[in-house]
Amino acid sequence: MNLDMTIFHQAFFEEAADLLAELETQLLRLEEAPNDIELLNTIFRCAHSIKGGSATFGFTDIAHFTHGLETLLDRLRNGQAKVSGELTQLLLESLDQLKSLLAVARGEAASAPNSEPLIARIDAAIADSEGQKPTIAAVAAEPEIANEVQRYVFRFVPNRDVMRQGSDPILMLRNLFEMVEEVQVRCNRSNIPLLNDLDPEACYVSWEMEFNSIHPMTSLLEPFEFVSDECEVSLTAVAGYWEDNAQPVTTIVAAPTLADSAVQEVTAAAASSTAPAAETSVNAAAKMETHTLRVSTDKIDKLINLVGELVINQSMLNEVVQHFEISNLPRLLEAVAAMERASRELQERVMAVRMLPIKHAFGRFPRLVRDLAATCHKKIDLRTTGEETELDKSVIEMIADPLTHLVRNSIDHGLETPEERIACGKNEMGVVSLNAFHEGGNIVVEVSDDGRGLDKDRIYRKAIDRGLISESDPMPPDDVLHNFIFHPGFSTAAKVTDLSGRGVGMDIVKQAVQGLGGAISLSSTPGHGSRFRIRLPLTMAILEGLSLRVGDEVYILPLTSIIESIRPKAGDVRVVAGQTEVAMVRGEVLPLLRLYQFFGVEPVVTEPTRGLLVIVENDGRKIALLVDELIGQSQVVIKSLESNYRKVDGIAGATILGDGRVALIIDVPGLYRNVMPAQPIMSTAA
């Protein structure tokens, strides 16, 4: 086949990742409900699909590995084997192996651990389930004949619909013929109907043939792997020639259990020889990987309806405008209003296309918690709520790692051992909760535990050690103290034990969250646990903003960072140390930043009492921005300034105003970096 498969690889990887996630979820449920036959069926189907996909796209090692797994699952499904703790562990380990193999195929990892020990264990489990051990015999038999010429009888009766399902029997036979010689073929045409009744898309013929081959049966049957469920495929090794009336030696009938993993050594050898070639093509595929998104057809149908509505609105508008008289004004206004409604809804729906439920990020945790519980010797109950809360796809992808870190943190440091818990009068089962919900235009994700809570004394001492506060300072209030753990280099090892010694600190988590335009905060009660709260914007493409005027320029300030805006009275703005200006707002002293100075705008208002102070907050620190006036609040579409230009200090991006002009969006965290680079953390509290 000359068809370039690499273009389909991406689709396969995505599907496989989904299937693996499903497999994992179901396997974990299997631990609790070992006799649920429906569960076993689902698990089997996942494995079967992965095997099918990997074989089609030429990932032989994955297909080979999954094949054994599938056989074992089939035994489970048929009740020939029993689900046990040991077996579930084996299945989970196999799942991990599959993940590594897939990572290699994607070009993300250089090599995967050797599959053979696991395959051997799977085979052993299969053999156990049979009582007898025919597979062992086959292992012995197969390599012997592998390199010798063997005569085979082959029968292939394609299903009538085989071509409609996208398979071409001729292609399969051609692939087979590359491996065989001295072929004698009989084609059975007796089923071909008269031309009147003939369906041109149906397959009416079948074949019987005999050939010599040095290839093992599994390789010979490989081209037919995909149709083996629907078509009759049988391959029989014969001692001599057809005419000799020879006795069949071994018969393998293609069925789901076809071609036992018994031939592992042979196929593994074949796989390793083809591996370098496969790897290069996969690397090429990984390079041209594009980000794709699966969208439910439901969402797309709604979009199409809306676009239809928009087109109708537009033609209505055209008609009104073409023969416009002033008496038609109400109709025009009506048409414009309808247009606005439709385009607003279109905007919302298009944004919704990018939204995925957060369970995509939560999905990995049951397994993580199960494994961590085992290594930490703790009993953990993971509770998740709000899994259906939708978030932008890119946000979900980027929030997964910080969340993982928080969950590990809660388990490692937060939860006590069962003995300690009982001693404290708590249930020995610790609870880790993941909650997601909407809150005022934001998505909030919480990771909480009912463990021991943060040790304030240790953090206080550590902060003094690191010079963040001086020894003479009193113990700061809780929120300031808690914030120290997000400080770079403020090692988590300061808190009790550290099992894993990961190099990732809480500052990385904080950076990741801020990179998404979000914020993280923490509350903790000693003895009752702690709670991390991540607040994220709904989407990164649209922003609720306040437009404001500075001189004769218009800027957009993200609404989420604004606390309030006030008109200062005379005397509210003071100069400190002859340079820095501060604003007194309800007794609080805030640094003042004149935006026209920072942005180099020709000023119109320089007297604070004639302008407005907008108080913004980032990171728990507030500053007052002096602007000329506020224009209004609106949703703006964020456009990148960097794609054609570069990053500009104090500017997060650009947007297009209603009149087509460009307005710049103020980067609030950036203001802090540029305005007060050397500001000590304790500025407001000290």
- Name residue 435's beta-bridge partners: 385, 446
Q: Is the Cβ of residue 287 or residue 646 nearer to another protein in the bound state?
A: 646
Distance of alpha carbon 302 from the chain centroid: 25
Distance of alpha carbon 158 from the chain centroid: 39
Q: Is the Cβ of residue 214 or residue 351 nearer to another protein in the bound state?
A: 351
Largest distance between two CA atoms of the chain: 114
279 vs 285: CA distance, rounded Å? 10
- Name residue 591's beta-bridge partners: 582
CB 414 within 8 A of CB 365: no
**Minimum distance from CB of 557 to another protein (Å)?**
14
Ordered DSSP codes for 522-568:
EEEETTTEEEEEEEEES-SSEEEEEEEEETTEEEEEEGGGEEEEE-P
Q: Is the Cβ of residue 339 or residue 601 nearer to another protein in the bound state?
A: 601
Q: Is the Cβ of residue 425 or residue 600 nearer to another protein in the bound state?
A: 600
380 vs 374: CA distance, rounded Å? 10
**Minimum distance from CB of 374 to another protein (Å)?**
48
Q: Hunting for tokens 């003094």 — which residue is that?
A: 464
Q: Is the Cβ of residue 208 or residue 553 nearer to another protein in the bound state?
A: 553
Query: Residue 148 gets which letter from DSSP?
Result: S
**Minimum distance from CB of 657 to another protein (Å)?**
9
Q: Which residues contact 649 (CB under 8 A, 6 or more apart)?
A: 670, 674
3-state secondary structure 194-256: CHHHCCCCCCCCEEEEEEEECCCHHHHHHHHCCCCCCCEEEEEEECCCHHHCCCEEEEEECCC
The candidate with the shortest Cα–Cα distance to 495, out of 533, 461, 450, is: 461
**Minimum distance from CB of 664 to another protein (Å)?**
7
Q: Is the Cβ of residue 217 or residue 626 nearer to another protein in the bound state?
A: 626
Q: Which residues contact 170 (CB under 8 A, 6 or more apart)?
A: none
Would you give the end-to-end CA distance of the chain in angstroms? Answer: 74
**Minimum distance from CB of 594 to another protein (Å)?**
13
**3-class DSSP assignment, residue 358:** coil
Q: Is the Cβ of residue 469 or residue 548 nearer to another protein in the bound state?
A: 548
Q: Is the Cβ of residue 160 or residue 639 nearer to another protein in the bound state?
A: 639
**Minimum distance from CB of 648 to another protein (Å)?**
6
**Minimum distance from CB of 668 to another protein (Å)?**
15
Report residue 283 as tokens: 């690397």
**Minimum distance from CB of 613 to another protein (Å)?**
20
Q: Is the Cβ of residue 70 or residue 667 nearer to another protein in the bound state?
A: 667
109: left (phi over 0), alpha (psi -120 to 50) or beta: beta
Q: Is the Cβ of residue 271 or residue 664 nearer to another protein in the bound state?
A: 664
**Minimum distance from CB of 547 to another protein (Å)?**
13
Q: Is the Cβ of residue 147 or residue 597 nearer to another protein in the bound state?
A: 597
CB 87 within 8 A of CB 125: yes
544 vs 638: CA distance, rounded Å? 10
| β-bridge pairing 621-627 and 588-594 | parallel
Q: Is the Cβ of residue 333 or residue 656 nearer to another protein in the bound state?
A: 656
**Minimum distance from CB of 287 to another protein (Å)?**
17
**Minimum distance from CB of 629 to another protein (Å)?**
18
**Minimum distance from CB of 512 to another protein (Å)?**
23
355 vs 436: CA distance, rounded Å? 14
The candidate with the shortest Cα–Cα distance to 8, out of 55, 66, 43, is: 55
Residues forming the site for another protein (CB under 8 A)? 553, 598-601, 639-651, 654, 656, 660-664
